[in-house]
């Protein structure tokens, strides 16, 4: 089955072949992937230390082997250093993932490890960057399989059949306390240390990367959402669910979510990636098998 390129509605790429802040559509016989990746500095900060990318290769071979990659990273460490760390993460990961060999899961793990090494190296080479690091959450959609890799407190959610599922666990001090039973989830939401993370890329030569043992099998209608804590700190899961259900496009969803986080103070940078698997023809293909994309024509 051949994918057919539809339209590129919005694009603000400033990252060579990678794009950030855009929406695009592509069609297979079974479903089309519609995505929106947006990052907003918020209301209080001059610098945006978040980075994000959505890569949908035009090369049919690359698309077949590696699929579509979405990454969100939230950098930290001194003035503007976080910006450097998160940018290195998304650039290194997208390059390494697409041009590395092996299965997607192995390639994604190696890409995270390479980003970790690279950030450590750059941090060691410049005084003003020492100690920088970044969270990183990635989703690779290869045909019907979704591969996930995650470090830190950015999140990946899945909306399926109108219900929202959190697919990642925050690597944070408060989540450790929740796990040990010393803090409730509601208390964690308001805890003073809720932004203190226990794992990051670039702060240690060894990093424990969370990856599920096997990929998730996607369904038509699934909506994935990746976000930095600038969103999930201010907007509760039930509200995320409501907005993802109510809105008709990823672009509209991310606009609404950013507006809501900003209306509530927007004290942190906000990055949102929404990736939707939409049936091409809802009545005819609702039960059609998911088809692997093998070619795209620009
Ligand atoms: Mn943040």
Domains of the chain: 4-167+203-285 (3.60.40.10)
For 212-267, the pLDDT digits (tens) are 999 999 999 999 999 999 999 999 999 999 999 999 999 999 999 999 999 999 99
Ligand 1 centroid – CA 87 distance (Å): 14
Ligand 1 centroid – CA 128 distance (Å): 20
Ligand 1 centroid – CA 269 distance (Å): 6
pLDDT at site 109: 98
Other beta carbons within 10 Å of 140:
25
Rounded-to-integer distance, Cα 70 and Cα 155, Å: 12
pLDDT beneath 70: ranges in the chain: 1-29, 281-298
Q: In this structure, what DSSP letter does residue 183 have?
A: S
Q: What angle is formed at CA 272 by the lines to CA 49 and CA 293, rounded to 5 degrees?
A: 120
Ligand 1 centroid – CA 244 distance (Å): 21
Residues 6 or more apart whose CB falls under 8 angstroms from that of 17 comprise 55
Name the phi and psi angles at 85, rounded to 5: -65, -45
Ligand 1 centroid – CA 102 distance (Å): 33
Rounded-to-integer distance, Cα 107 and Cα 50, Å: 23
Rounded-to-integer distance, Cα 241 and Cα 101, Å: 37
Ligand 1 centroid – CA 220 distance (Å): 31
Smallest Cα–Cα separation from 268: which of 37, 41, 20? 41
Ligand 1 centroid – CA 8 distance (Å): 29
Ligand 1 centroid – CA 206 distance (Å): 22
- What is the helix, strand, coil percentage profile of the chain, to 5? 30, 30, 40
pLDDT at site 283: 54
For 56-85, the pLDDT digits (tens) are 999 999 999 999 999 999 999 977 899 999
Ligand 1 centroid – CA 166 distance (Å): 18
Ligand 1 centroid – CA 235 distance (Å): 13
Neighbours of ion ligand 1 (CB under 5 A): 74, 228-230, 268
Name the phi and psi angles at 32, rounded to 5: -120, 145
Other beta carbons within 10 Å of 102:
10
Please state, in angstroms and as integers, the Cα–Cα distance from residue 184 to each residue in 64, 165, 172, 175, 180, following that order.
Answer: 43, 18, 14, 9, 10
Ligand 1 centroid – CA 75 distance (Å): 7
């Amino acid at each position: 089955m051949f994918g057919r390129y539809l339209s590129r509605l919005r694009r603000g790429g400033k990252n060579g072949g990678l794009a950030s802040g855009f929406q695009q559509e592509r069609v297979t016989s079974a479903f089309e992937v519609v995505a929106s990746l947006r990052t907003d500095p918020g209301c209080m900060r001059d610098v945006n230390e978040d980075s994000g990318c959505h890569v949908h290769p035009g090369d049919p071979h690359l698309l077949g082997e590696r699929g579509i990659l979405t990454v969100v990273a939230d950098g930290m460490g001194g003035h503007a250093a976080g910006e450097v760390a998160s940018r290195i993460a998304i650039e290194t990961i997208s390059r390494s993932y697409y041009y590395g060999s092996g299965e997607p899961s192995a390639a994604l793990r190696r890409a995270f490890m390479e980003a970790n090494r690279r950030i450590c190296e750059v941090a060691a080479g410049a005084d003003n960057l020492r100690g920088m690091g970044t969270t990183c959450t990635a989703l690779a959609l290869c045909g019907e399989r979704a591969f996930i890799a995650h470090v830190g407190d950015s999140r990946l959610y899945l909306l399926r059949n109108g219900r929202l599922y959190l697919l990642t666990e925050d690597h944070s001090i408060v989540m450790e306390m929740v796990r040990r039973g010393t803090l409730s989830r509601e208390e964690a939401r308001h805890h003073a240390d809720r932004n203190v993370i226990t794992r990051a890329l670039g702060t240690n030569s060894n990093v424990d990367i969370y990856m599920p043992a096997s990929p998730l099998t996607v369904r038509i209608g699934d909506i994935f959402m990746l976000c930095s804590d600038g969103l999930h700190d201010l907007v509760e899961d039930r509200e995320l669910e409501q907005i993802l259900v109510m809105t008709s496009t990823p672009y509209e969803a991310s606009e609404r979510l950013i507006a809501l986080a900003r209306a509530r103070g927007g004290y942190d940078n906000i990055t949102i990636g929404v990736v939707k698997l939409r049936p091409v023809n809802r009545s005819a293909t609702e039960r059609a098998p998911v088809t692997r994309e093998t070619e795209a024509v620009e």
